[in-house]
Amino acid sequence: MSTPSMRADASEVYRRYLSAVMLHGHAGAKACGLGATDLYALNILQLSGPMSPGELAERTGLTTGPTTRLIDRLEQAGYVRRAPDPGDRRKAVVEPVGEPADLDRVMAPARQKIGDILRDYEPDQLAVLFDYFTRSAAAYQAAAEELRTANPGT
């Protein structure tokens, strides 16, 4: 992650940032009575829409057995439902139907703190930040796919 124009501790700063985001995600999930993977899967479904259990397994990095149990937990909690696939009624899709009641309350302090930070930036700086968020999300997804392809079954 280092280039000549970057600060010497860029990698460390970035790793601290990613660790803090992950720690907050785990703490937020726990505060909502969920496991981190369950909240992550629910987020995937809310952002991407209904998908097959196989697609959800790919997106979460889980195998089919743990994905089935994850869907069962989310369905029992009332956050997802299995529905017939509109393209092939012999198959099922998983679709989000709710979210933890406490999720907004749990996430509000972090959202407020991040909002306070973002207010310190000028519109052109915010444009750069959100360009980075958009492009880096795609880069991480592509890198994750490369890892899954290179290391099947792990």
In the chain the domains, ranked by start, together with CATH numbers, are 11-100 (1.10.10.10)
Q: What is the pLDDT of residues 57-95, one digit of tens each?
A: 989 989 999 999 999 999 999 999 999 998 888 899 999
- Tell me the C-alpha distance between 104 and 150, whole Å: 38
Greater confidence (131 vs 98) lies with: 131
Q: How confident is the model at residue 3 (pLDDT cuts 50, 70, 90)?
A: low
Q: What is the pLDDT of residues 26-62, one digit of tens each?
A: 999 999 999 999 999 999 999 999 999 999 998 998 9
Q: What are the Cα distances from residue 20, in Å, to 16, 24, 49, 114?
A: 6, 6, 27, 13
Query: Of 34, 45, 26, whose CA–CA distance to 110 is shortest?
Result: 26
- Tell me the C-alpha distance between 129 and 60, whole Å: 26
